[in-house]
């Protein structure tokens, strides 16, 4: 089982055992599904309800129906089993994407040095191509193909890059 970090319990919410999870995970709609499990301190908890409130992912677990039952989870890191995410063919975790090699259409090789977000939905890849740094938006037409099996990203550099 490979654990993936999905967030941190920032606080409780209300008196019925609901937790506020602060998360920048790229696929929260898959990580916080009802009737799936989250891992905190190597113990699994099953989600009974999920909703979004402001910047927080609000979850409630089976058997934890009171604020006093969940206070001990405050400040803990939250993980998800990677297999339980059920990612689609075109979805890749950022942690996996960093391992991919980059190939340009003119057969130059590169590596991904960093992945950062310019805004909430704008992922940027900082790529080193033969000593030259290039920034490529993840949803750009420059990104030609992602091969999850071979762990290769094909990009097309435009003039001036």
Q: How many domains does the chain have?
A: 2
User: For position 11, what pLDDT does the model report?
Assistant: 96
pTM: 0.81
Q: Are residues 63 and 133 in the same domain?
A: no
CATH of the domain at 58: 2.40.30.60
Distance separating alpha carbons of residues 78 and 27, to the nearest angstrom: 14
Is there a domain that residue 160 lies in? no
User: For position 160, what pLDDT does the model report?
Assistant: 62
User: For position 120, what pLDDT does the model report?
Assistant: 72
pLDDT range class, residue 139, cuts 50, 70, 90? confident
Is there a domain that residue 35 lies in? yes
* Token output for 75: 């400040």
pLDDT range class, residue 3, cuts 50, 70, 90? very high
Query: How many of the other CB atoms lie within 10 Å of CB of 98?
Result: 13
Q: What would the pLDDT profile of 108-126 be if each residue is shown by its tens digit?
A: 899 999 998 888 778 899 9
Domain boundary among 63, 85, 107: 85
Is there a domain that residue 161 lies in? no
Q: What would the pLDDT profile of 55-77 be if each residue is shown by its tens digit?
A: 999 999 999 999 999 999 999 99
Confirm if 6 and 78 have CB atoms less than 8 A apart: yes
Identify the weakest region by mean pLDDT among 14-23, 68-77, 95-104, 150-159. 150-159
Residue scoring higher pLDDT (58 or 161):
58
Q: Are residues 73 and 120 in the same domain?
A: no
Q: Are residues 75 and 120 in the same domain?
A: no
Residue 12's closest CA among 25, 2, 21?
Answer: 21
The range of the structural domain enclosing residue 123 comes to: 94-155
Q: Are residues 69 and 24 in the same domain?
A: yes
Q: Are residues 107 and 140 in the same domain?
A: yes
Domain boundary among 85, 108, 127: 85
């Amino acid at each position: 089982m490979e654990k993936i970090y999905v967030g941190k319990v920032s606080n409780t919410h209300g008196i019925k055992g609901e937790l506020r999870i602060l998360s920048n995970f790229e696929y929260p709609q898959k990580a916080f599904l009802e009737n799936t499990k989250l891992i905190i301190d190597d113990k699994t908890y099953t989600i009974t309800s999920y909703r979004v409130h402001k910047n927080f992912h609000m979850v409630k677990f089976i058997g934890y129906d009171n604020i006093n039952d969940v206070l001990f989870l405050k400040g803990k890191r939250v993980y998800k089993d990677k297999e339980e995410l059920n990612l689609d063919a075109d979805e890749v975790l950022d942690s996996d994407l960093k391992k991919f090699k980059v190939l340009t259409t003119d057969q130059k090789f590169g590596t991904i040095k960093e992945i950062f977000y310019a805004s909430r939905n704008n992922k940027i890849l900082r790529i080193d191509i033969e000593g030259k740094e290039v920034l490529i938006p993840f949803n750009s037409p420059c990104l030609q193909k992602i091969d999850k099996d071979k762990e290769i990203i094909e990009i097309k550099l435009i003039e001036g890059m």
